[in-house]
Amino acid sequence: MKYILLVTALLFGGCSVKEYEHTQTKVITIKSPKIKFSDVGYIRNSAKSIELELFIAGKSIEKFSIDTFICTTKEGCMSKSSFNADYLNSVYPDDILQNILLSGAIYGGKNLQKESDGFVQHIKDENVDITYVVDASGTYFKDRKNGIIFSIKEANE
């Protein structure tokens, strides 16, 4: 009985209400097998968790909360690898979504080329063909092989 309570607490604790230190309003474009979105969104984060909330015409349509698990409004909580397999691509590293949302290097910094106002990464193998650019204008991720795009720009531009 103790173990059932412990497992339940861990699973639902991953989706509990969080206090975020930073909130940014962004214009977000996402194209993946399961998500097609282009409008305003909020990226909220603290040291341990991130939240992406997507809006269309001022109405919240989806929220992704990321810490130990990734929780969605529609499907509940799942492991990061399960989320990637379902929403993005199963070959992606577990931390790819939070790295893109926070404009951090992906794939452990593989092929990272520093630029004057950010960096560029090109990652190509049998599973992916990724161009990832972080600079003053925003964050841009495109996987040509899998048809996945993330574009994050300032809302006031």
Residue 6 has pLDDT above 50, yes or no: no
Which residue in 62, 61, 65, 52 sits closest to 18, CA to CA? 65
Residue-wise burial string across 110-138, b where 16 or more C-beta atoms lie within 10 A, e elsewhere: eebeeeeeebebebeeeebebebbbeeeb
Q: Do the Cβ atoms of 69 and 86 come closer than 8 Å?
A: no
Contacts of 104 (CB under 8 A, 6+ apart): 98, 134
- List pLDDT tens digits, range 76-102: 999 999 999 999 999 999 999 999 999
The confidence band for 65, taking pLDDT boundaries of 50, 70 and 90, is very high
Tell me the DSSP string of the chain: -HHHHHHHHHHHHTTS----SEEEEEEEEEESSS-EEEEEEEEEE-SS-EEEEEEETTEEEEEEEESSSEEETTTEEE-HHHHHHHHS-TTS-TTHHHHHHTT--SGGGTTEEEETTEEEEEEESSS-EEEEEEETTEEEEEETTTTEEEEEEETT-
Q: Determine the Cα–Cα distance for residues 43 and 18; give it in Å rounded to an integer.
A: 13
Query: What pTM does this model have?
Result: 0.83
- List pLDDT tens digits, range 20-59: 567 889 999 999 989 999 999 999 998 889 999 999 888 9
Catalogue all structural domains in the chain, each as residue range(s) with its CATH number.
2-154 (2.50.20)
The confidence band for 153, taking pLDDT boundaries of 50, 70 and 90, is very high
